[in-house]
Amino acid sequence: MIFSAIMYIVVLLAVVLGMFIYTGELGTALGVGALFVIIWVVLSVYNRKIKNEEWIGQIVDIRHEEDYDDEGGIVNSRDVAHLNLNNGKKKKLDRQQGWQVGDTIQKVKGEMFYRKVQ
Protein backbone atom coordinates (compact mmCIF):
# COMPACT_ATOMS: atom_id res chain seq x y z
CA MET A 1 0.00 0.00 0.00
CA ILE A 2 2.76 2.44 0.92
CA PHE A 3 4.76 1.41 -2.16
CA SER A 4 1.79 2.08 -4.45
CA ALA A 5 1.20 5.48 -2.81
CA ILE A 6 4.85 6.41 -3.32
CA MET A 7 4.69 5.28 -6.95
CA TYR A 8 1.51 7.31 -7.45
CA ILE A 9 3.17 10.45 -6.05
CA VAL A 10 6.26 9.92 -8.23
CA VAL A 11 4.11 9.52 -11.36
CA LEU A 12 2.01 12.56 -10.40
CA LEU A 13 5.12 14.70 -9.92
CA ALA A 14 6.56 13.45 -13.22
CA VAL A 15 3.33 14.37 -15.05
CA VAL A 16 3.19 17.85 -13.48
CA LEU A 17 6.90 18.48 -14.10
CA GLY A 18 6.63 17.20 -17.67
CA MET A 19 3.69 19.48 -18.41
CA PHE A 20 5.49 22.44 -16.83
CA ILE A 21 8.56 21.80 -18.98
CA TYR A 22 6.41 21.30 -22.09
CA THR A 23 4.17 24.35 -21.65
CA GLY A 24 6.18 26.62 -19.36
CA GLU A 25 2.99 27.47 -17.47
CA LEU A 26 2.52 26.41 -13.87
CA GLY A 27 -1.28 26.75 -14.05
CA THR A 28 -1.53 24.32 -16.95
CA ALA A 29 0.78 21.84 -15.24
CA LEU A 30 -1.26 21.97 -12.03
CA GLY A 31 -4.49 21.59 -14.02
CA VAL A 32 -3.17 18.45 -15.70
CA GLY A 33 -2.05 17.22 -12.27
CA ALA A 34 -5.55 17.81 -10.88
CA LEU A 35 -7.06 15.94 -13.82
CA PHE A 36 -4.62 13.09 -13.16
CA VAL A 37 -5.76 12.96 -9.50
CA ILE A 38 -9.46 12.95 -10.47
CA ILE A 39 -8.98 10.09 -12.95
CA TRP A 40 -6.96 8.12 -10.41
CA VAL A 41 -9.65 8.55 -7.71
CA VAL A 42 -12.44 7.47 -10.09
CA LEU A 43 -10.48 4.37 -11.16
CA SER A 44 -9.64 3.52 -7.54
CA VAL A 45 -13.30 3.73 -6.48
CA TYR A 46 -14.34 1.60 -9.47
CA ASN A 47 -11.69 -1.04 -8.71
CA ARG A 48 -12.69 -1.13 -5.05
CA LYS A 49 -16.34 -1.60 -6.05
CA ILE A 50 -15.44 -4.44 -8.41
CA LYS A 51 -13.22 -6.16 -5.83
CA ASN A 52 -15.91 -5.90 -3.12
CA GLU A 53 -18.50 -7.72 -5.24
CA GLU A 54 -19.29 -11.30 -4.34
CA TRP A 55 -21.84 -13.42 -6.15
CA ILE A 56 -22.53 -16.82 -7.65
CA GLY A 57 -24.96 -17.57 -10.45
CA GLN A 58 -25.99 -20.01 -13.12
CA ILE A 59 -26.00 -19.35 -16.86
CA VAL A 60 -29.60 -19.56 -18.10
CA ASP A 61 -29.10 -18.27 -21.64
CA ILE A 62 -26.36 -17.32 -24.09
CA ARG A 63 -27.28 -14.79 -26.77
CA HIS A 64 -25.44 -13.10 -29.60
CA GLU A 65 -25.71 -9.31 -29.34
CA GLU A 66 -24.65 -6.61 -31.76
CA ASP A 67 -24.27 -2.86 -31.30
CA TYR A 68 -24.98 -0.59 -34.25
CA ASP A 69 -23.85 2.93 -35.18
CA ASP A 70 -26.16 5.66 -36.53
CA GLU A 71 -25.93 4.36 -40.11
CA GLY A 72 -26.84 0.80 -39.09
CA GLY A 73 -23.33 -0.63 -39.33
CA ILE A 74 -22.22 -3.16 -36.74
CA VAL A 75 -19.87 -1.60 -34.20
CA ASN A 76 -19.55 -4.49 -31.76
CA SER A 77 -20.53 -8.15 -31.95
CA ARG A 78 -20.32 -10.48 -28.94
CA ASP A 79 -21.86 -13.44 -27.16
CA VAL A 80 -23.43 -12.58 -23.80
CA ALA A 81 -24.15 -15.01 -20.97
CA HIS A 82 -27.29 -14.23 -18.95
CA LEU A 83 -27.01 -15.37 -15.33
CA ASN A 84 -29.52 -15.81 -12.54
CA LEU A 85 -27.70 -15.04 -9.29
CA ASN A 86 -28.39 -16.80 -5.98
CA ASN A 87 -29.73 -13.55 -4.49
CA GLY A 88 -32.45 -13.37 -7.17
CA LYS A 89 -30.80 -10.71 -9.33
CA LYS A 90 -29.83 -11.10 -12.98
CA LYS A 91 -26.45 -10.34 -14.54
CA LYS A 92 -25.07 -10.16 -18.09
CA LEU A 93 -21.44 -11.05 -18.77
CA ASP A 94 -19.41 -11.37 -21.94
CA ARG A 95 -19.26 -15.09 -22.63
CA GLN A 96 -15.90 -16.77 -22.06
CA GLN A 97 -14.67 -19.71 -24.10
CA GLY A 98 -16.10 -22.98 -22.83
CA TRP A 99 -19.12 -21.50 -21.07
CA GLN A 100 -22.43 -23.28 -21.66
CA VAL A 101 -25.99 -22.97 -20.40
CA GLY A 102 -26.17 -24.52 -16.94
CA ASP A 103 -22.60 -23.64 -15.92
CA THR A 104 -22.05 -21.90 -12.58
CA ILE A 105 -20.02 -18.67 -12.53
CA GLN A 106 -18.58 -17.19 -9.32
CA LYS A 107 -17.10 -13.81 -8.41
CA VAL A 108 -15.08 -14.04 -5.18
CA LYS A 109 -14.74 -10.96 -2.97
CA GLY A 110 -11.25 -9.47 -3.20
CA GLU A 111 -10.61 -10.78 -6.70
CA MET A 112 -10.94 -8.69 -9.83
CA PHE A 113 -12.43 -11.28 -12.18
CA TYR A 114 -15.10 -14.00 -12.13
CA ARG A 115 -14.56 -17.66 -12.98
CA LYS A 116 -16.39 -20.83 -13.87
CA VAL A 117 -16.96 -23.18 -10.94
CA GLN A 118 -16.30 -26.85 -11.66
Distance CA 107, CA 91 (A): 12
pTM (2 d.p.): 0.62
Give the strand order in the sheet containing 90-94.
90-94, 74-85, 55-68, 104-107, 115-117
Q: Do 109 and 76 form a contact (C-beta atoms < 8 A)?
A: no
Question: What's the CA gap between 112 and 51, in Å, rounded?
Answer: 5
pLDDT in tens, 77-95: 899 999 999 989 999 998 8
pLDDT tens for 55-79 read 999 999 999 988 888 888 888 889 9
Nearest-Å Rg of the Cα atoms of the chain is 21
